[in-house]
Amino acid sequence: MTTVITLQERLDFGAVTPLKTTILGHAGQDLEIDASQVSHMGTLCLQVLIAAANDWKQVGKTFQIISPSETCKTQLALHGFSPDTLTGVSPT
């Protein structure tokens, strides 16, 4: 069964620890990260998502960004990512 985690609107410095804790609380499960409400994504939260995507990939579990807001897509692109490249998922 896939678990869905909905990201908060502002992923700034104050969101880093709660984001990391929430994601690690679902270790071993397939995850979908709902980014539909994201209006700001700071670099540290982006790093948490990148690290989690890499960890999930190493253990053969799914880690996907779903429903990214336009702002989320733009901010990922500024860092050289898309939702698919961040998580290593090939677009269909």
For residue range 4-29, list pLDDT tens digits in order: 999 999 999 999 999 999 999 999 99
For 55-92, the pLDDT digits (tens) are: 999 999 999 999 999 999 999 999 999 998 988 765 54
0.75 cut: is pTM over it?
yes
Q: Is residue 13 part of a domain?
A: yes
Residue 6 within a domain: yes
**Pairwise CA distance, residues 76 & 63, whole Å:** 16
Q: What per-residue confidence (pLDDT) applies to 92?
A: 44
Within-domain flag for 26: no
Task: State which residues form the domain around 10.
Answer: 2-18+31-87
Residue 56 lies in a domain: yes
Angle separating helix axes 16-24 and 43-58, nearest 10 degrees: 10
Query: Does residue 24 belong to any structural domain of this protein?
Result: no
Domain count, the chain: 1
pLDDT, tens only, 23-61: 999 999 999 999 999 999 999 999 999 999 999 999 999
Determine, yes or no, domain membership for 25.
no
Specify if 38 maps to a domain.
yes
